């Protein structure tokens, strides 16, 4: 039988498409095919060619109004091009030194979309009450910072905003005079009488041949102002031109990172200037791209308009709160500077400048704006098994059984769209899934969970209660007329889309996920409180829409066009879904929602993955830099499909892919419906054994991952930390994106992403000892940076522990992570070159919100010499909350916190069962808990941390020291 198969990003097809078809460039615009992007780039090239180019925008000095007591001022802005058009400027400095610059058209024909920031921010930022503006003849200035090192200068004529540190410019807006806010106009007023009608040029672009009065700045023609056709779809542009062009320069920063999501390097390659890597700008326009390329500036499923600029002296960042189609050119005019040019289709100018000066400061500043990543349920860090599709309840049961037979840990089984009758999400296909709740209970019996897909398109049929209720409530997206329900095609055939911008949809959506009857209202009674959710296709993906999405002239709540809100649209579904999951149980449990589409702030709602990657080495490699880029832009709970979504990877590739996955924050295997089954137990030996070992390794390391996620939750630092973040002064590491650190654990990993590898080089940025996690071989870095060769045969993962770290593991991997909750811990103490090490461990119940009431264990472990000249080491465990005022941030207030809280008591008897100390200076004379009996230990001589030698490190194994994980203790190793 020929099965109807619909591909992501393709029309309904009767036959399956061979995967060799590849990326369909004709489905997506290039900059040259988007009127406003063409205009923006043309503006930049006119500026480049014109030595006397000057910005037409200036601040009206008579209108400057400074708020009393707050670091904020407003002023009118004029454009010499259009003296009658008014703009308003608003510049504020927040209490943490972040500068927000807003500009909007005032009293225009319409209101520009100004709500992007309100979806991204957690609260209205507090303005500084200490910083004050000084209004001068030529500029408005403010000096601030602990050493008065920062200065913001808003120059009046032309308008230019710069942030300086110690007198040096760090960030400049409109320094290249490319600022242009196209004001609203009517067709008639814009086009002088007698000019010819619009026509088509040879590239099918709409043009009007006329010479405009402001041609030196805006170009001679009205290029794509009023209508635009692409791929057979016409965008009616009822508001006319409204784009926003802005240059942002980072004069002393030679590297820029961020603006996910693109399949490219972390250190963003250039798109303009001399010999650019890409000819098109990076694009931010959430898109479902079929078989995306492994190196490209093409926009993928999510958009975070956040860019870090970095040099050995400084890190700064910007968040450009815009939600419309945005293209970003990147160029390094010199090795040490970066020019960027941002061209957006609509919206106001709303830019946050984060002054840094270090990457960690940037993370804090950005987290203060948009929030940190939610602390996930502990099980969500386990191994997830997905495929399109497990086809029946029995299929799921049998997959679970085979994982258990093969002793392979897994926490979550996933169901893709085929569980749903005619792709009506929530509604089980009862032929294949006759007993869904029983199936879920079977899975839950082993501590596991299920994740089920719920997409945002609703099949338009009255026998689908979810569609019917949404339609009756009037909460569906409207087509361009503004009153008819928009109809497009997706998996479910003719579909409608919920408009989550409409508050009327919110309560209703939250109610759907209750697994008990809600009277007249439909609710998902065929689910359990352990059914979690996957939100896919939320860019939104519309198979017959322009660029596989919604028409830009569709209308959302409040009358906003889809073009204005597109990049935010995708984040509302996981936002509301995660709220629904919290609301369905009492007491509430932490939600888990995986999203494909995302925007700034999405980190508060759950995890993301990098979409439909290919089973190729290139995709495996780029998946790592994509996860790093998402992470530094806040979206740190990230991963890529293990195995590659498309294709049938050979066993070697699959093993490497699991190694990559096990070192991603989100670890899920997934595969397209046309691929062969490839669950890890299906491989032959030796591969199967290797996969088992990788899965078990991930489970042993869950305490490390959970602690890293906790740090991300408290401080906003990413779970995966690239080199420039850990060593911000080490130039040699600025472009590294194939090796990274896990949280602050000191673990440095470089997953192998090439065929036939037996060893690999790892870069060490400092003069420090690094130990091979598995063999305890001690490598020596150098203050000048050094590459060391690490074994990397197929069964080996290049994983090092940085000297100075203590990591905590649980070495009894079980079938699922909840079954490990009471298992004992192992401490690995990696002494540094001065005989010191430090680490932390965070624990809570992993599931509820009772951690916010102080039900946690947060320990610090320190290993240090008892006296400067001695080789004797004391290892102590102490409570970290009382030492850490920042912990109050998440509600764990110091006054409320009790080290003997209910959770701590519940794990009092959980002990440390083993300690591995690497790099001791000699064989210990005695090892004992302070004041206690001699412990059983075993010493293997080897290289000491304090020497300069490389080689097998000395290793002391302390057996069952019997100390509690939740209590203070100290162990003395007398050498």
Catalytic residues: 536, 539, 612
x/- track of binding to ligand NOJ for residues 661-700 (CB under 6 A): ---------x------------------------------
- CB of 7 or CB of 342, closer to ligand NOJ: 7
Angle between helices 702-715 and 687-700 (to 10 degrees): 50
Minimum distance of ligand NOJ from residue 323's CB (angstroms) = 22
**By CB under 6 A, is residue 319 in contact with ligand NOJ?**
no
User: What is the distance between the alpha carbons of residues 311 and 705, in angstroms, rounded to a whole number?
Assistant: 29
DSSP character string of 264-282: S-SBPPPSSSSS-S-SSPE
- CB of 453 or CB of 972, closer to ligand NOJ: 453
User: Is the alpha carbon torsion for 880, 884, 889, 894 positive or negative?
Assistant: positive
Question: Could you tell me how many residues make up the chain?
Answer: 975
**By CB under 6 A, is residue 151 in contact with ligand NOJ?**
no
Minimum distance of ligand NOJ from residue 594's CB (angstroms) = 10
Binders of ligand NOJ in range 626-665 (CB under 6 A):
645
Interacting residues of 297 by C-beta distance below 8 A, sequence separation 6+ = 262, 264, 271, 278, 280, 281, 282, 283
**By CB under 6 A, is residue 417 in contact with ligand NOJ?**
yes
Minimum distance of ligand NOJ from residue 453's CB (angstroms) = 6
Number of helical H runs and strand E runs in the chain? 16, 54
Minimum distance of ligand NOJ from residue 892's CB (angstroms) = 36
- CB of 4 or CB of 199, closer to ligand NOJ: 4
Minimum distance of ligand NOJ from residue 537's CB (angstroms) = 6
Asked whether 964 and 908 are in contact (CB, 8 A), the reply is yes
Q: Which of 70, 104, 469, 536 binds ligand NOJ (CB under 6 A)?
A: 536
**By CB under 6 A, is residue 612 in contact with ligand NOJ?**
yes
Which of these, 161, 140, 164, 138, lies nearest to 151 by C-alpha position? Answer: 164
CA angle at residue 271 from 269 to 273, to 5 degrees?
Answer: 110
* Contacts of the segment 2-7: beta carbons below 8 A, 24+ positions apart: 5/673, 5/674, 6/491, 6/543, 7/290
**By CB under 6 A, is residue 611 in contact with ligand NOJ?**
yes
- CB of 436 or CB of 835, closer to ligand NOJ: 436
Asked whether 50 and 178 are in contact (CB, 8 A), the reply is no
- CB of 81 or CB of 673, closer to ligand NOJ: 673
Strands 912-918 and 825-830: parallel
Binders of ligand NOJ in range 6-65 (CB under 6 A):
8
Residue with tokens 């809100």, as numbered in its chain? 565
**By CB under 6 A, is residue 615 in contact with ligand NOJ?**
no
- CB of 324 or CB of 492, closer to ligand NOJ: 492
Minimum distance of ligand NOJ from residue 363's CB (angstroms) = 29
If you ran DSSP here, which 8-state letter would residue 476 be given? Answer: B
User: What is the distance between the alpha carbons of residues 236 and 221, in angstroms, rounded to a whole number?
Assistant: 18
x/- track of binding to ligand NOJ for residues 364-393 (CB under 6 A): ------------------------x-----
**By CB under 6 A, is residue 416 in contact with ligand NOJ?**
yes
Minimum distance of ligand NOJ from residue 287's CB (angstroms) = 12
Interacting residues of 316 by C-beta distance below 8 A, sequence separation 6+ = 163, 170, 171, 250, 253, 308, 309, 353, 354, 355, 356, 357, 362
User: What is the distance between the alpha carbons of residues 372 and 364, in angstroms, rounded to a whole number?
Assistant: 9
- CB of 606 or CB of 824, closer to ligand NOJ: 606
CA atoms within 13 A on the CB side of 215: 9
Minimum distance of ligand NOJ from residue 752's CB (angstroms) = 25
- CB of 417 or CB of 654, closer to ligand NOJ: 417
CA angle at residue 463 from 459 to 464, to 5 degrees?
Answer: 45
- CB of 278 or CB of 388, closer to ligand NOJ: 388
Minimum distance of ligand NOJ from residue 461's CB (angstroms) = 19
x/- track of binding to ligand NOJ for residues 420-459 (CB under 6 A): ---------------------------------x------
Minimum distance of ligand NOJ from residue 512's CB (angstroms) = 19
Interacting residues of 947 by C-beta distance below 8 A, sequence separation 6+ = none
Binders of ligand NOJ in range 568-597 (CB under 6 A):
596
Asked whether 618 and 570 are in contact (CB, 8 A), the reply is no
- CB of 125 or CB of 545, closer to ligand NOJ: 545
User: What is the distance between the alpha carbons of residues 961 and 695, in angstroms, rounded to a whole number?
Assistant: 28
- CB of 539 or CB of 693, closer to ligand NOJ: 539
CB atoms within 10 A of CB 468: 15
Residue 442's φ and ψ, nearest 5 degrees, are -60, -40
Interacting residues of 305 by C-beta distance below 8 A, sequence separation 6+ = 259, 284, 319, 320, 321, 322, 326, 342, 567, 600
Minimum distance of ligand NOJ from residue 643's CB (angstroms) = 12
Residues interacting with ligand NOJ, by CB under 6 A? 8, 388, 416-417, 453, 536, 596, 611-612, 645, 670
């Amino acid at each position: 039988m020929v099965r109807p198969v619909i591909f992501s990003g393709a029309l309904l097809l009767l036959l399956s498409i061979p995967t060799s078809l590849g990326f369909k460039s004709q489905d997506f615009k290039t900059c040259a095919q988007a009127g406003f992007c063409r205009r923006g780039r043309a503006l930049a090239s006119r500026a480049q060619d014109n030595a006397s180019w000057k910005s037409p925008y200036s601040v009206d000095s008579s209108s400057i109004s400074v708020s009393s007591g707050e670091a904020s001022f407003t002023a009118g802005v004029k454009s010499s091009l259009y003296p009658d058009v008014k703009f308003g400027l608003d510049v504020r400095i927040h209490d943490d030194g972040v500068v927000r610059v807003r500009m909007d058209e005032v009293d225009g024909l319409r209101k520009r979309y100004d709500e992007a920031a309100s979806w991204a921010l957690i609260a209205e930022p507090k303005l500084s009450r200490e910083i004050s503006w000084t209004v001068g003849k030529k500029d408005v200035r403010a000096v601030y910072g602990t050493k008065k090192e920062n200065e913001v200068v808003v120059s009046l004529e032309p308008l230019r905003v710069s942030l300086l540190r110690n007198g040096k410019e760090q960030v400049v807006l409109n320094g290249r005079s490319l600022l242009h806010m196209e004001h609203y106009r009517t067709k008639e007023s814009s086009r002088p009488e007698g000019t010819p009608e619009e026509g088509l040029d040879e590239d099918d672009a709409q043009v009007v041949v006329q010479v405009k009065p402001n041609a030196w700045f805006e170009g001679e023609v009205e290029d794509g102002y009023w209508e635009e056709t692409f791929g057979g779809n016409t965008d009616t542009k009822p508001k006319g031109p409204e784009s926003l062009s802005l240059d942002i320069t980072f004069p002393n920063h030679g590297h820029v990172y961020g603006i996910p999501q693109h399949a490219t390097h972390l250190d963003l390659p250039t798109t303009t200037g001399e010999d650019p890597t890409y000819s098109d700008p990076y694009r931010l326009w959430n898109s479902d791209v079929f078989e995306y390329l492994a190196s490209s500036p093409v926009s993928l499923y999510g958009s975070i308009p956040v860019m870090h600029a970095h040099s050995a002296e400084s890190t700064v960042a910007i968040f450009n709160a815009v939600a419309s189609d945005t293209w970003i050119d990147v160029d390094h005019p010199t090795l040490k500077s970066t020019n960027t040019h941002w061209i957006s289709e609509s919206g106001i100018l709303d830019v946050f400048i984060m002054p840094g000066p270090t990457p960690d400061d940037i993370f804090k500043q950005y987290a203060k704006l948009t929030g940190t990543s939610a602390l996930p349920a502990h099980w969500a860090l386990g191994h997830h098994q997905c495929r399109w599709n497990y086809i029946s309840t029995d299929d799921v049961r049998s997959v679970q059984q085979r994982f258990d037979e093969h002793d392979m840990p897994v926490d979550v089984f996933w169901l893709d769209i085929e569980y749903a009758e005619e792709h009506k999400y929530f509604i089980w296909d009862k032929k294949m899934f006759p007993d869904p709740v029983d199936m879920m209970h079977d899975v839950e019996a082993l501590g596991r969970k299920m994740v089920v897909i719920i997409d945002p398109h609703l099949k338009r049929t009255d026998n689908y209660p979810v569609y019917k209720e949404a339609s009756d409530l009037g909460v569906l997206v409207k087509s361009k007329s503004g009153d008819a329900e928009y109809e497009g095609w997706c998996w479910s055939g003719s579909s409608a889309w919920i408009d989550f911008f409409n508050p009327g949809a919110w309560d209703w959506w939250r109610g759907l996920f209750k697994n008990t009857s809600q009277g007249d209202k439909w609710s998902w009674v065929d689910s359990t409180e352990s059914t979690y959710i996957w939100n896919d296709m939320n860019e939104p993906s519309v198979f017959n829409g322009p660029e596989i999405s919604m028409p830009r002239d569709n209308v959302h709540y409040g009358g906003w066009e889809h073009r204005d809100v597109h990049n935010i649209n995708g984040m509302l579904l996981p936002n509301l879904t995660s709220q629904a999951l919290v609301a369905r149980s009492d007491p509430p449990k932490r939600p888990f929602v995986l999203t494909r589409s995302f925007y700034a702030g999405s980190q508060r709602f759950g995890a993301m993955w990098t979409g439909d990657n290919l089973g190729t080495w290139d995709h495996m490699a780029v998946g790592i830099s994509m996860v790093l880029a998402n992470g530094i832009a806040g979206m740190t709970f990230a991963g890529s499909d293990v195995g590659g979504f498309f294709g049938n990877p050979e066993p070697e590739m699959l093993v490497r892919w699991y190694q990559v996955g096990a070192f991603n924050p989100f670890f899920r295997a997934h595969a397209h419906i046309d691929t062969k089954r490839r669950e890890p137990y299906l491989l032959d030996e030796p591969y199967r054994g290797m996969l088992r070992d990788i899965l078990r390794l991930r489970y042993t390391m869950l305490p490390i991952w959970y602690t890293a996620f906790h740090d991300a939750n408290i401080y906003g630092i990413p779970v995966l930390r690239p080199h420039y973040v850990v060593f911000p002064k080490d130039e040699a590491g600025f472009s590294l994106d194939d090796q990274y650190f896990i949280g602050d654990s000191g673990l440095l990993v470089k997953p192998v992403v090439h065929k036939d590898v037996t060893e690999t080089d790892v870069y060490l940025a400092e003069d420090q000892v690094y130990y091979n996690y598995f063999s305890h071989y001690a490598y020596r870095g150098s203050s000048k940076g050094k590459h060391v060769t690490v074994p990397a045969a197929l069964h080996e993962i290049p994983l090092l522990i940085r000297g100075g770290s203590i990591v905590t593991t649980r070495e009894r991997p079980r079938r699922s992570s909840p079954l490990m909750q009471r298992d004992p811990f192992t401490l690995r103490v990696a002494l540094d070159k001065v005989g010191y090490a430090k680490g932390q461990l965070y624990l809570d119940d992993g599931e509820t919100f009772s951690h916010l009431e102080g039900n946690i264990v947060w320990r610090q472990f320190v290993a240090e010499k008892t006296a400067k000249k001695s080789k004797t080491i004391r290892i102590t465990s102490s409570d970290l909350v009382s030492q850490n005022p920042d912990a109050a941030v998440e509600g764990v207030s110091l006054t409320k916190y009790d080290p003997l809280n209910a959770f701590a008591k519940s794990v009092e008897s959980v002990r440390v069962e083993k300690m591995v100390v690497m790099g001791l200076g000699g064989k210990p004379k005695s090892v004992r808990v302070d004041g206690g009996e001699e412990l059983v230990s075993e010493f293997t001589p080897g290289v000491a941390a304090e020497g300069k030698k490389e080689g097998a490190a000395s290793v002391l194994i302390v057996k069952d020291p019997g100390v509690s994980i939740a209590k203070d203790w100290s162990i003395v190793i007398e050498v």
